[in-house]
Structure 1
Amino acid sequence: MITSPYDKYRQSSVQTSSPAQLLLMMFDGAIRFGKAALEGIDSSDFNKVSTNLGKAQTIVNELITTLDNTYEVSKGLASMYEYINYLFIESNIKKSKEQAEEAIGYLLELRQTFAQASKMNITQDQQHG
């Protein structure tokens, strides 16, 4: 049962978001959890590291499973997401920032690319609508 106003807002925003907005929200979450894991490495809070890297991996796995494989680009994205997951796993095993930082960098680039593509689609829809 959802009790806090924040949880109600989050559920409502997910239910009313476009697919492009949901994708950006997933990237934001994976990036946020990755950064929280880096903080855990800095403070030697390895429970925080494992918890947050696990959450980031869950989101990246969801990105993999929701790919539309009818597009050729999906194969490349699947490989990229699998590599990002590998980096998060390695970071968790080694408690090393290097791999997590690399994974976050890729996620930031992908998020920026999808945000741009989303803006282009909105512009095109407005021109043709």
Structure 2
Amino acid sequence: MAYQQYQAYQNNSVNTATPGELTLMLYNGCLKFIKQAKKAIENNEHETKNVMIQKTQNIIRELMVTLDQEAPITKEIMPLYDFAYHALTQANVKNDLDQLEQAREIIQDFRDTWKEVIKQERIRQYGQGVNA
């Protein structure tokens, strides 16, 4: 019963989120999966590591294809996504925690920046701060 309520809450959160909030959820998902991949590498759980890194790569790929190709900022963001994606590949193939950490840092920076953008937008719209 509690699990069904949690699932309903999760579905409602996604269905009612703004595009900005959905992007923030994707960044948070990446960070969660990277953390799980790190733990799996440390515990020699190769299958789990592979699944978590692939989930992260799938999110990054989705973020890449949804970028507005006409926006000037895309030329700055795309190479960082490419770098993170490649670092994840190397982390997966070589069980390389340094590469995993490089990808995490990039995604963390994007997440933190995006969180601040959402916060500033809410202040602009509503005249008050709301935690993102």
Q: TM-score, normalised by structure 1?
A: 0.91
Per-residue CA deviation, residues 12-37 of structure 1 (Å, 9 max, x unaligned), is 11110011111110000011001100
Q: How many residues align?
A: 125
**Shift, 1:118, TM fit:** 1.4
Query: Which residues of 2 match residues 1-129 of structure 1 at below 5 A?
Result: 4-127=4-127
Per-residue CA deviation, residues 74-96 of structure 1 (Å, 9 max, x unaligned), is 12111111111100000000011
Q: TM-score, normalised by structure 2?
A: 0.89
Rounded Cα–Cα distance in structure 2 between residues aligned with 1:124 and 1:93: 45
Rounded Cα–Cα distance in structure 2 between residues aligned with 1:55 and 1:30: 8
The one-letter code matched in structure 2 to 1:74 is T
Rounded Cα–Cα distance in structure 2 between residues aligned with 1:33 and 1:44: 16
The one-letter code matched in structure 1 to 2:77 is L
- SS of aligned partner of 1:4: helix
Identity %: 26
Rounded Cα–Cα distance in structure 1 between residues aligned with 2:119 and 2:45: 39
CA root-mean-square deviation: 1.3
User: Which segments of structure 1 move beyond 3 Å, counting only runs of 4 or more?
Assistant: none
* Greater Cα shift, 23-32 or 5-14: 5-14
